[in-house]
Structure 1
Amino acid sequence: MTAAADLILYNGDVHVLTDTATPADPAHSAVAIRDGRIVGLSNDYDAAFRADTGTREVDLGGRVVVPGFVDAHTHLAVLGKHGVHADLRGADSPAAATARLAERARETDAGWVLGFGYDDSQWSAALSTADLDAVSEARPVAAIREDMHTATVNGVALAEHGDEMPAADVGEDGRIVEDAVEAVYDATDPDLAGTRPLIEAAQREANERGVTAVHEMVRDSHAPRVYRELDAAGELSVRVRLNYWADHLDAVLETGLVTNHGGGMVTVGGIKTYTDGSLGGRTAKLSEPYADAPGETGQWVVDPSALAALVERADDAGLQVVAHAIGDAAVDAVLDAYEDAGERRHRIEHAELASDDAIERMADLGVVASVQPNFLKWAGSGGLYADRLGTARREASNRFADMLDAGVDVAFGSDCMPLAPLVGVHHAVTAPADAQRLSVTAALRAYTSGGARAGCREDEQGVIREGALADLTVLDASPWEHADAIADEVGVSMTVVDGAVVYDGR
């Protein structure tokens, strides 16, 4: 006798997103779940035979069901800071950002005044020390740009922490980049008690956005302990794959952690490293100068020789390497380092300016392109890429279609800019250049099975089939029917993780 299901979702439009899947499959309207796994994929009539008095049955009202979104690049502890400190997302000018920081200063009476998430690419003026001095001339103030490689600080912050900031990373008007920003992080990182509310706030946002699993980048953080404590208490509602920063490699090796170790909701990913910086801060490493700064080609955060040594150590120890590389020179350096590595499914994070040769090498080496489709918001004719790179390189950025055509494994993530898979899918589907643009199905696959493959779980995650993990996202409208406006017209109605409904917004 077939065991009854714990949960049955019926009257839905279920999309398994296989290579041959059509946008609509009327044979699949119901999903039956037991013990955190999918035990049935069928029509409503057949699904009803799996119900008994203990089964929860949910009428989806014709809503679209897809595999749960896997966000392959997140910083949830940082995301949580948006809900605790000043949230600068959407601020459209220095004055708007300053007003939010001033409000935060009024809410607190001591210590740093922090704001996170501003994007100044469309501002007519830059945020400056004078702006932040107006917030406070007695307390240190910092506004962190959404790329997390760039910030602006006030005079007090420079006076108290300037000696910890490399002079080369401190620009005019209080704008700082790379290691100078790290000095701010070092001075403001929360303790264990302060980390938990950040993770809980970010987890709620992830659930609301349909995210069922994240590949988390952690450095000098209590977040790994918080994730494990939440898991042990049965309070973790998103799967977490931990990628430890390269400066923790010795500790990772000493404790014997290996990629894919772990159980429950928390597993070990790999070792995260930088190579270069960001386009917004002009620190991404390019082979040709920036269009708006002819003498500059960016900088190495980790130079190629150090990168190669790190990759060799991590690879020999059975650890996947997760390497940030944005500029074309940085992408080439990472591929050089991976040339003789083992088959660990190593990754390049961002890969925004991968050349034709680099894309071919990624396919040949089996390197995963862990990319951010939401970055395409800067790829329009009047956007950040046009300013920094000029037309030709702008149109050759983030070439997701070319990557897939070449046989590269593509995984989508958000970098929490914002944590919103449907926004990323929207930008991939409506990208300005053919080489960037994907079909709705291909974009959804990159945010589901693509992320699962990048995390070595493609056998059970990012798919809808019997035996797979019961991680599902329910959409309130069809993205295929709203392909030109997915971000505006398609939302998340429900999120299921490990067979439990963790968000219900119907």
Structure 2
Amino acid sequence: MTAAADLVLTNGEVHTLTDPDETYEAVAVRDGRIVRVDSDYEIDFLNGVETREIDLDGRVLLPGFVDAHVHMETVGRHRLRADLRDATSPEDAVDILRDSDTGDDWILGFGFDESTWEASRYLTRDDLDRVSTEKPVVAFREDLHTAALNGVALDRLRDPLPDGDVQTEGGDPTGVVVEDAAEAVREAVEPGPAETADLLLAAQRDAHETGVTSVHDMVRRSHAPRVYRDLEAAGDLRLRVRLNYWSDHLDAARELGLRTNHGSEFVQTGAIKTFTDGSLGGRTAKLSAEYADGDGSGQWVVPPAELREVVRLADDAGFQLAVHAIGDEAIEETIDALADTDDPAGARHRIEHLELATDDHIERMADLGLVASMQPNFLKWSREGGLYDSRLGPERRSENNRFPAYLAAGVPLAFSSDSMPIDPLFGVHQTVNPPEDTQELSVTEALRAYTSGAAYAGFDEHRLGTVEAGKEADFVVLEASPWEHPDSIADIDVAYTIVDGEVVYEAGA
């Protein structure tokens, strides 16, 4: 006699997101795994005395979203610190920061995006001195490659800030710092273990509210790896986490014997993450031609020779690589470096962002079996008059984030948020309704990139990414169908998020 299910979800529109995408009415779960996907009639045979049944009432059930590139501490900070994402001007950002002062030593804000402001300029020392002249104040741009500091913060951090990344005017610091200097600021305000736990639990709530059931967290000089394991041991981690360690952790990871895919069901070692260039917002992405609105063509954060050494050491030690490359020149150097590894396809080496890849780059990636880890959210900057119009000019703006070209070439495509924001439906909406035809995906293609595509990037396609018997019971239930409402996908609400067969989020509960 077949054992009863622990959980059944009935009367729904269940999309397996397999190829082809099959739809059913119901799904049954036992011991955290899917045991059957079928009609209501067939699933009813698995109903037992202790089975929990959820009537989906026609809602859409999908595999849980996998965010393949996110900074979970930053997500938590948006919830627990000054959230500058909705600031409409420098003055508004100053008011938000001033109102956020709770008596802590530092006043911190995260997520401002000056490209949406009429002034279209970074926050400066003068702005933040209006928040406080007694406490250090720091505001991080949304991409984390740029930060603004008040006078107190500049004085306190004078020694660790490399001069080349501290912007000046008339010889005096403006308060704007980029790349290595911004990283030094992040290190200075790094939270301790207890605060890290608060941030990660807050981020977990945000993930669940947006249907995310698994994340690839980019961690650097953080207590997060320890905290995740403590949370798992305590039964408080309800999110599958893949830890992608920054390259400055490589020696320690090798000494400890870590390898890609080592770990538990909920916390695994992922890739070694490294940079090549910076960001388009900070004019530090490395381009082959100059920026349209400023001098220079960007900068190397990790020079090519150093990148090759990091790639060699990480690959030899059995690690997947995840290499940040945005500008076309950076992408070229990254592909060259990864091409020299023993088995790029078997290692599933990844390139993160890939915003300005050429046709030749995409063809080479397909030949090498490299994974394209990309962020559809970034299309919010690609519209006419937006940030990319300013940085690149209209012609080059139309060449960014050409997602269909990757699929057509056979390059594995994994979607993620980079925390801008952590909301898969926002990203799916952007590429289903893009500024350019060359960026447009179908609803199914976009959802697969955020489920099975992202699972593949983390060696998890055998257990995540589709709704099939034998896989982990990780689901998101939507209030409406993105196929029936393609023009308003970003407005669709999440009704339930389920991880390991347990309801971790229920709207209104």
Superposed CA deviations along residues 227-251 of structure 1, whole A, max 9, x for unmatched, are 1111112111110000111000000
Segments of 5+ residues of structure 1 without an aligned counterpart are none
Given candidates 451, 455, 466, the residue that maps to 1:452 is: 455
One-letter code aligned to 2:10: Y
Distance 2:148 2:11 in 1: 51
Detail structure 1 runs of 4+ shifted over 4 Å in the superposition. Answer: none
Aligned to 1:345: 348
Distance 2:477 2:46 in 1: 21
Q: 1:20: Cα distance to partner? A: 1.9
Q: 1:82: Cα distance to partner? A: 1.5
Matched, 1:213 2:207: no
Secondary structure of the structure 2 residue equivalent to 1:57: strand
Matched, 1:160 2:156: yes
Aligned to 1:491: 493
Secondary structure of the structure 1 residue equivalent to 2:133: coil
Aligned to 1:384: 387
Q: 1:162: Cα distance to partner? A: 2.2
Distance 2:415 2:77 in 1: 23
Secondary structure of the structure 2 residue equivalent to 1:171: strand
Distance 1:120 1:6 in 2: 49
Matched, 1:275 2:276: yes
Matches of residues 14-33 of structure 1 in structure 2 within 5 Å?
14-21=14-21, 25=23, 28-33=24-29
Q: 1:178: Cα distance to partner? A: 0.7
CA RMSD between the two structures: 1.0
Asked if the contact 1:85–1:115 (Cα under 8 Å) also holds between the matched residues in 2, the reply is yes
Distance 2:481 2:499 in 1: 21
Identity percentage of aligned residues:
58
Superposed CA deviations along residues 335-378 of structure 1, whole A, max 9, x for unmatched, are 00011212300000100111111111111111100000000000
One-letter code aligned to 2:11: N
Distance 1:344 1:497 in 2: 27
Deviates more, 1:412-421 or 1:334-343: 334-343
Distance 1:41 1:183 in 2: 50
Matches of residues 426-505 of structure 1 in structure 2 within 5 Å?
426-488=429-491, 490-505=492-507
Distance 1:183 1:263 in 2: 32
Q: 1:396: Cα distance to partner? A: 0.6
Q: 1:111: Cα distance to partner? A: 1.4
Asked if the contact 1:277–1:300 (Cα under 8 Å) also holds between the matched residues in 2, the reply is yes
One-letter code aligned to 2:82: A
Aligned to 1:395: 398
Distance 1:382 1:405 in 2: 29
Distance 2:484 2:86 in 1: 28
Matched, 1:120 2:114: yes
Distance 1:317 1:158 in 2: 39
Secondary structure of the structure 2 residue equivalent to 1:267: strand
Matched, 1:189 2:190: yes
Distance 2:469 2:17 in 1: 14
Superposed CA deviations along residues 31-82 of structure 1, whole A, max 9, x for unmatched, are 1000110001011111111011110000011000111100000110121112
Aligned to 2:9: 9
Distance 2:291 2:158 in 1: 27
Asked if the contact 1:401–1:434 (Cα under 8 Å) also holds between the matched residues in 2, the reply is no
Matched, 1:364 2:367: yes
Asked if the contact 1:474–1:493 (Cα under 8 Å) also holds between the matched residues in 2, the reply is yes
Aligned to 2:224: 223
Superposed CA deviations along residues 119-168 of structure 1, whole A, max 9, x for unmatched, are 11121222221110000011110100110001111111111112221111
Aligned to 1:77: 73
Distance 1:497 1:176 in 2: 40
Distance 1:493 1:270 in 2: 32
Distance 2:265 2:434 in 1: 37
Aligned to 1:41: 37
Q: 1:264: Cα distance to partner? A: 2.2
Segments of 5+ residues of structure 2 without an aligned counterpart are 169-173
Q: 1:21: Cα distance to partner? A: 2.0
Aligned to 1:148: 144
Distance 2:118 2:244 in 1: 37
Aligned to 2:171: none
Distance 1:62 1:192 in 2: 43
Distance 1:152 1:187 in 2: 14
Distance 2:18 2:49 in 1: 34
Secondary structure of the structure 2 residue equivalent to 1:279: coil
Aligned to 2:242: 241
Aligned to 2:256: 255
Q: 1:438: Cα distance to partner? A: 0.2
Superposed CA deviations along residues 219-275 of structure 1, whole A, max 9, x for unmatched, are 110101111111112111110000111000000000111111111211110101011
Distance 1:233 1:435 in 2: 47
Given candidates 78, 90, 93, the residue that maps to 2:89 is: 93
Q: 1:84: Cα distance to partner? A: 2.0
In the comparison of the two structures, how many residue pairs are matched?
A: 498
What TM-score do the two structures reach when normalised by structure 2? 0.97
